[in-house]
């Protein structure tokens, strides 16, 4: 008896990734059914999806936003950490760079906002908020600790962009407060620079007060905190309470715009216009002061 050799069946076509035709791909997208290689697979609730379907879903799905219009961001408050890191780097540079070059280039004094003295550098109103006294580690430590506490609370509520705008505008507001409530040259002191994030920190105090009130929370502890820090500014010499007050008022004003703008499609546009109006108001107040 003889046995015939069975004919070979045609080999099944090996599926390949549409993005990488040279790669066999036996895993298929749960959404479109196309093969996807390991580089093009994205974990889904069930199985995997290809990168094209994930991108399409992200484009068509409305972005989740907080009640204040900011994009909901999971994870760590990166803006808060970024500001702390920048302040730390600048503090190290104040020690490393010979002389007082960093201090002289970025510290603020009312003279730098007054063109008649021949040195008009208004950007120092902002850069001074990233410097701290090199003679006191406690200065930067307390400011950064407070920023860390309030940043973790406010940044997720407002959104990263709005929180950053609030912080920067409050920093400028602190310098403007110092300009408005002080003579250009303090008698008996000469050209004394103002540094520190305290104006911006007080801006976060004012913002948290407005946000907490808007949410219906208890604000008594915040009032006590603001009162204690305000009194310290008068009791301890070489503390610019004027910058604290300017930052507090500016931060509260910015937060009022962010919190009380009605929700809707134009919420972000109205909020942006309101914050720009605050900047223009600070500019106008400074111009009136230096024109007197």
Q: Where are the domains of the chain?
A: 14-61, 78-291
pTM score = 0.77
Residue 277 has pLDDT above 80, yes or no: yes
Residue given tokens 């906002």 in the structure block: 113
**Residue 133 a catalytic site member:** no
- Sort residue 47 into left (φ over 0), alpha (ψ -120 to 50) or beta: left
* The pLDDT value given to residue 98: 82
pLDDT digits over 103-151, tens only? 888 999 888 877 777 678 899 999 999 999 888 888 899 999 999 999 9
Residue 45 has pLDDT above 70, yes or no: no
Q: List the end-to-end C-alpha distance of the chain, in Å, as a whole number.
A: 120
Cα–chain center distance at 151: 8
* The pLDDT value given to residue 218: 87
Measured CA to CA, the distance from residue 285 to residue 223 in angstroms comes to 27
Residue 110 DSSP symbol = G
Residue 61 DSSP symbol = S
Q: Given 132, 170, 175, 244, which residue is catalytic?
A: 244
Of the candidates 206, 210, 254, which has an alpha carbon nearest to the alpha carbon of residue 230? 206
Token code pair at residue 136: 């006191």
Query: Is 108 within 8 Å of 194 (Cβ atoms)?
Result: yes
Token code pair at residue 150: 């309030």
**Residue 136 a catalytic site member:** no
Ranges of H-type helices in 121-159:
124-127, 137-158
Residue 57 has pLDDT above 90, yes or no: no
CATH class entry, domain 78-291: mainly alpha
Query: Is 280 within 8 Å of 211 (Cβ atoms)?
Result: no
The H or E element that residue 213 is part of is helix 198-214
Q: Given 198, 214, 286, 291, which residue is catalytic?
A: 198
Token code pair at residue 22: 């040279």
Measured CA to CA, the distance from residue 122 to residue 124 in angstroms comes to 5
Query: Is 289 within 8 Å of 180 (Cβ atoms)?
Result: yes
Count of beta carbons in the 10 Å neighbourhood of residue 7: 6
């Amino acid at each position: 008896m003889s046995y015939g050799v069975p004919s070979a069946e045609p080999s099944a076509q090996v599926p390949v990734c549409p993005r990488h035709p040279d790669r066999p791909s036996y895993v298929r997208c749960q959404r479109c059914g196309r093969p996807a290689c390991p580089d093009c697979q994205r974990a889904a609730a069930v199985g995997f999806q290809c990168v094209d379907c994930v991108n399409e879903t992200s484009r068509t799905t409305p972005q989740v936003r907080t009640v204040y219009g900011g994009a909901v961001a999971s994870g760590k408050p990166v803006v808060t950490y970024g500001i702390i890191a920048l302040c730390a780097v600048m503090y190290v540079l104040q020690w490393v760079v010979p002389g007082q070059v960093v201090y002289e280039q970025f510290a603020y004094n009312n003279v730098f906002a007054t063109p008649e003295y021949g040195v008009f550098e208004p950007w120092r109103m902002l850069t001074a908020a990233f410097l701290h006294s090199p003679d006191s580690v406690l200065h930067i430590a307390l400011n950064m600790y407070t920023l860390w506490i309030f940043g973790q609370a406010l940044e997720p509520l407002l959104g990263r962009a709005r929180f950053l705008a609030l912080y920067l505008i409050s920093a400028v507001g602190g310098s403007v407060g110092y300009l408005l409530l002080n003579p250009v040259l303090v008698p008996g002191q000469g050209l004394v620079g103002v540094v520190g994030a305290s104006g911006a920190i007080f801006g976060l105090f004012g913002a948290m007060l407005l946000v907490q009130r808007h949410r219906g929370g208890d604000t008594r502890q915040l009032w006590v905190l603001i009162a204690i820090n305000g009194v310290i500014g008068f009791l301890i010499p070489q503390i610019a309470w004027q910058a604290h007050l300017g930052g507090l008022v500016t931060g509260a004003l910015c937060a009022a715009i962010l919190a009380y703008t009605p929700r809707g499609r134009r919420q972000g546009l109205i909020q942006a216009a309101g914050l720009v109006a605050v900047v223009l108001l600070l500019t106008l107040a400074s111009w009136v002061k230096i024109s007197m």
